[in-house]
Amino acid sequence: MLDDNFKALAAFGLFLTCGLWGYLRWSNPEVVSAAALLMGLLLYGSGAPLRAGLLVAIGAMQNPAIILTFGFLPLLRLAQHWPADGDWRARLRVAIPDTRHLAGLLLGALLALSAPLWNLIQFGTPSIIGREFTRPYLATAARLHSLFLDLSQGMVIGVPALLVLLLIWAWRQGWRTTLLCAALTFVIALPALPVINWNSGAQGVMRYASWGAMPLLAAMVWQLRERRRWLLAVLPVLAVQCAVSEALQGFRYVEFSPLAIRVMVHAPHWYNPDPELFAERVRHIDSYIDEREAYSFVYKGRAAKSLYHPATPESVQMLCGAGLTPAAGNDVQDVNHGWRYINGPVTCQPLPAPAQAAATGG
């Protein structure tokens, strides 16, 4: 019993330090979503499907993408209780939910759907936020990359020790559960991509990355529960995550992290965040990106990385000046919606005569 209590305390410490630390300082749906999702996953795998369904539904009411978890719960249970003898009939019995597990899934899903149903009856749309504050064209690979791998707010810098330990455990054993939890994390991140203000109000890691990492934490807790010599593995993870949680509070979400600055100074071609993120951090303002502008991160009086829209004359002129355009020898990287990065100092050259006349209205 004492060992179980220490494991629970360690799991709680991991919950606080795996992306949620900054969000404890103000009331928001991220902590509720994360707690409900994590406990729902753990309870379903522990034989408490009704409570699990209730908690996942509560999480989905805060962040609707969590409703997709119901499709993964039976698969996660199968991965956890995978029959060792390889009998397909035994695997089928585990995969097909019994009455209690089916009731947990159905009741939870119905409860989660009650909120959009109420909005549909009252306001004629399942989600006012979805209708007014999402744009399909915003769902890009650059946003997806930034949500997971951004060096200032991405999930990778929020839970680095957790990811390393999971990879080690998955390589040695338990890869089915880890792989499914990683797939769930990926799937519930997708509906966040079209949101207009997806980057606003971040406290450390991005809001969607904070609760989106909970399936990965659930995979680790499941591994933790089965191990006797767990303390040697968990203590370093806790130490690193505590240090990371503290470091993430040292800069605002409209600023670059020290790590991102170091990479942009020494290897800018390795860091190409979503253009909206780059523009906001250069100006230190949470606002919309403007195709008529150019944005440069300047370090010690030298442009380390610049962003402009080559199809917009105003953006080209702001970057290079009147009558000039970026030279062909620049180190460039194209990103979404026509934006282009230039790594290092920008070299410009005169516009061809016809293009210069068109740019000046001649």
The pLDDT assigned to 354 comes to: 61
Q: Report the distance separating Cα 261 and Cα 91, nearest Å.
A: 50
Average pLDDT of the residues in 343-360: 76
The reported pTM is: 0.90
User: What average pLDDT does the segment 190-197 reach?
Assistant: 91
Residue 231 has pLDDT above 70, yes or no: yes
- The predicted structure's pLDDT at residue 280: 95
CB 163, CB 109: distance < 8 Å: no
Whether the predicted pLDDT of 323 surpasses 60: yes
pLDDT in tens, 148-190: 999 999 999 999 999 999 988 877 776 888 999 999 999 999 9
Q: What is the mean pLDDT of residues 143-151?
A: 95
Predicted pLDDT of residue 305: 97
Tokens (6 digits) for 245: 């949680």
In the structure, what pLDDT confidence band is assigned to residue 78 with cuts at 50, 70 and 90? confident
The mean pLDDT value of the chain amounts to 89
Give Cβ neighbours of residue 286 (< 8 Å, ≥ 6 apart). Answer: 199, 200, 253, 254, 280
Note the Cα 295 to chain centre separation in Å.
24
- Separation of alpha carbons 111 and 333, rounded Å: 46
pLDDT at residue 2 in the model: 44
Residue 174, classed as helix, strand or coil, is coil
Percent of the chain with pLDDT over 90: 68
Integer angstrom CA distances of residue 355 from 33, 106, 253, 291, 360: 53, 63, 39, 19, 9
* Helix, strand or coil, per DSSP, at residue 134: strand
- Strands 295-299 and 302-308, by their bridges, are antiparallel
312 touches 292 (CB < 8 A):
yes
What's the rounded Cα separation, in Å, for the pair 80 and 176? 8
Pair 295, 273: CB distance under 8 Å: no
Minimal CA–CA distance to 149: which of 29, 56, 67, 259?
259
Give the model's confidence band at 93: pLDDT under 50 very low, under 70 low, under 90 confident, else very high: low
In the prediction, which pLDDT does 247 show? 94
Give the per-residue pLDDT at 163. 94
C-beta neighbour count of 87 within 10 angstroms: 10
In this model, does residue 47 exceed pLDDT 80? Answer: yes
- Alpha-helical (H) ranges within the chain are 2-17, 29-45, 49-62, 73-80, 88-95, 99-123, 128-132, 141-149, 155-158, 160-172, 175-189, 207-212, 214-225, 231-247, 258-266, 275-283, 313-320, 353-360
SS3 343: strand
pLDDT of residue 299: 95
pLDDT tens digits for 249-286? Answer: 999 999 999 999 999 999 999 999 999 999 999 999 99
Question: Of the candidates 224, 182, 254, 294, which has an alpha carbon nearest to the alpha carbon of residue 13?
Answer: 224
Once rounded to an integer, what is the mean pLDDT over residues 213-237?
A: 85
pLDDT in tens, 103-112: 999 999 999 9
Q: State residue 1's pLDDT score.
A: 41
